[in-house]
Amino acid sequence: MTVTRHVSPARQGFRMPAEYSRHAGCWMLWPERPDNWRLGAKPAQAAFTAVATAISASETVRVGVSARQYANARAQLPAAVRLVEISSNDAWMRDVGPTIVVDDKGRRRGIDWHFNAWGGLQGGLYFPWDLDAAVAQKVCEVEGLDRYRPDFILEGGAIHVDGQGTLLVTEQCLLNPNRNPGMSREGYEAQLRAWLGVETVVWLGEGVFMDETDGHVDNLACFTAPGEVALTWTEDRRDPMYPIVRDAEARLRAACDARGRKFKLHKMVQPGPLHMTAEEARGVDACADTKPRQAGERLAASYVNFYIANRHVVMPLLDAKRDAGAAAVLKRCFPTRTVVGVPAREILLGGGNIHCITQQVPAGK
Ligand code: KQY
């Protein structure tokens, strides 16, 4: 497969399609590291299996798994899910997998961003991350995709597109000096136009409180259709999320998309607030090179962290008091898809949710 470093997808007629466009499939990774997933990752493996099973009702799911865990993953995942032996440091396919771009002829190529574990030696979440950094190339090889290799750091969870020229990002993440120090807002906009084929970049401010990715947009807001955005929400003025969601709302209301439309907002009242219990924190192995887990820490819980499959929307179930309200919003947003809830607290305990552990493969034509 070829690798292109200096010519961008946009120059060659490629662009990132929206997640709600047709997929050829979905990629995930198998969780196993005991210093991020409690109880030797057993509860997380059950949750990932439920997510893979739900998505496989819509599209082919491939799961990358270490040699060590191959037999265990095979025993837990349904037969329809395809296993591929791929080494990784953890299981966040959204961030370590390729962003796949398409052109008008239906051709597809993968973008293999540089990856530094959400901050490298300035606040990154674990060391080393060399296996994660090689995952996108391996997925491209299996998918038979030529690969673009931009010279900067980005994660798939830090970008959401509407497929019609508009991109959502957060300042907290992209402008953090632990990603691409010295890259300005204008510099980013030029790069993102070139690599994603977008025209308009809408900057939100802070991401979800305590989000350890430095505020990925995919936990805060996402497109549900051209011109429509789901936004995590709270009306509780004492909650640290209150100023964050108000600011995001104001920015979205002030902005227009690439086609000049104002955004229709779908507010999704956040779960909880949720916190890590002492028992949950005790179940995570201590490790000198991994961010420690503390009892009582606020979890970056959001219903916006869902996956849009071809015929289903797979959403996290996180709080019995709020799940039904979130599902109702998604049913209105996606009338042609079935909304499926998967218990997702065990994924949340690892620092992300369903969108973060999945990466779609667009169908191309
Ligand atoms: O949310 C994501 N996109 C990734 C979360 C990584 C957490 C690592 N502990």
Q: How far is the C-alpha of 172 from the C-alpha of 95, rounded, in Å?
A: 16
pLDDT of residue 289: 82
331: pLDDT strictly greater than 90: yes
- Cut 0.85: pTM above it: yes
pLDDT of residue 276: 98
Q: Is the CB of 95 under 6 A from ligand 1?
A: yes
Share of the chain above pLDDT 90, in %: 95
226 neighbors 164 (Cβ within 8 angstroms): yes
Report the atom number in ligand 1 closest to the C-alpha of 94: 3
The residues annotated with a catalytic role in the active site are 356
pLDDT of residue 32: 98
pLDDT of residue 317: 98
The string of pLDDT tens digits covering residues 277-319 is: 999 999 999 988 888 889 999 999 999 999 999 999 999 999 9
- Mean pLDDT, rounded, of the chain: 97
pLDDT of residue 108: 97
pLDDT (mean) for 198-205: 98
Q: Is 39 left (phi over 0), alpha (psi -120 to 50) or beta?
A: left
360: pLDDT strictly greater than 90: yes
Report the atom number in ligand 1 closest to the C-alpha of 355: 3
Residue bearing the CA closest to ligand 1, atom 4: 352
Which runs of consecutive H residues, i.e. helices, occur in 155-219?
171-174, 185-196
Give me the phi and psi of 120, to 5 degrees please.
55, -135
Report the atom number in ligand 1 closest to the C-alpha of 300: 1
359 neighbors 22 (Cβ within 8 angstroms): no
For residue 125, how far is its CA from the centre of ligand 1 (angstroms)?
8
Q: Is the CB of 212 under 6 A from ligand 1?
A: yes
Residue bearing the CA closest to ligand 1, atom 1: 352
Q: Is the CB of 351 under 6 A from ligand 1?
A: yes
365: pLDDT strictly greater than 80: no
For residue 214, how far is its CA from the centre of ligand 1 (angstroms)?
10
Give me the phi and psi of 229, to 5 degrees please.
-130, 130
